[in-house]
Amino acid sequence: MTSTSYHIVPNCLKEPIILYQDPYLLLVNKPEFLLSVPGRALENKDCLITRLQRIFPHATIVHRLDLDTSGIMVIPLVTKVHSDISRQFQERNIQKEYIAEVFGIVSADSGSIDLPIAKDWPNRPKQKIDHDHGKTSLTHWRVLQRDLKQNKTRLLLMPHTGRTHQLRIHLSEIGHPILGCDMYAHAEALERSPRLLLHATSLQLTHPITQKKLSGFCPPEF
């Protein structure tokens, strides 16, 4: 298959911002419309990790954010640190929080979405809710602000699991798709924003070297 068979992502003019740096790892703010890792198409080689490796040649990727999602990521600079952070992700010891703007007014002040997710093979890369074969997927949420005039709600999202497109599909399933979501939102919600209004705002982990809690925060631009 040639590279022209793949979707070509738009050129991202924004640069990642380094929020924290030490000899072992970085915390960075990835802009929207920048891939975390290179895509398959030759035209999609520009990404967060290749940009960072120009300055930090040993930087590696241990987790990802979607192309459309902005926000905080941890970038290991040492092999030992990569392995330790990978283990923390696998054991769900890393706390992540996101902010999203969703369509409609969410009536409850907080809640949880517990719906299993599986790959939607005929419609790749989309995912789907599958109660028979899906993997357990849990998202906690809390209302930050309701905008009655704009018919939207600002949510704090705290995913317990990290399935592909989990936040997007969970919110769509409860009738409140994320504004600007080109995969799971209906036309009205999609047209409300030129970008996906989803941002990874905070991340907390145990520093593999110092064993102290390391917390990073970056507010969304929306």
pLDDT in tens, 144-200: 999 999 999 999 999 999 999 999 999 999 999 999 999 999 999 999 999 999 999
Q: Domain spans of the chain?
A: 13-93, 98-198
Give the chain's mean pLDDT: 95
pLDDT value at residue 10: 78
Give the model's pLDDT for residue 49. 97
Output the pTM of the full model.
0.94
CA distance 112 to 125: 25
pLDDT greater than 50 at residue 30: yes
Average pLDDT on 128-145 reads: 97
Structure tokens at 105: 């007014």
Q: Residue 25 carries which side chain, given as an amino acid letter?
A: L
Catalytic residue among 22, 46, 66, 147: 66
The band of 6, judged by pLDDT with boundaries at 50, 70 and 90, is: low
In whole angstroms, give the CA distance from residue 106 to residue 143. 8
Question: Between vectors from CA 177 to CA 109 and to CA 94, what angle results, nearest 5°?
Answer: 65
Give the whole-angstrom CA distance, residue 79 versus residue 90: 17
Whole-angstrom distance, CA of residue 174 vs CA of residue 188: 16
pLDDT greater than 80 at residue 208: yes
In this prediction, residues 65-83 reach a mean pLDDT of 97
135 torsion bin: left (phi>0), alpha (psi -120 to 50), beta (else): beta
Query: What is the distance between the alpha carbons of residues 183 and 117, in angstroms, rounded to a whole number?
Result: 15
22 has catalytic annotation: no
Per-residue buried b or exposed e for 155-176, using 16+ beta carbons within 10 Å of the residue's own CB: bbbbbeeebebbbbbbbbeeeb
Determine which helix (DSSP H) or strand (DSSP E) holds 169, and give its type and residue range: helix 166-173
Q: In the CATH hierarchy, which fold is given to the domain comprising 13-93?
A: Pseudouridine synthase (3.30.2350)
Q: 13-93 and 98-198: same fold?
A: yes
User: Which CATH number does 98-198 carry?
Assistant: 3.30.2350.10
What percentage of the chain has pLDDT greater than the value 90? Answer: 91
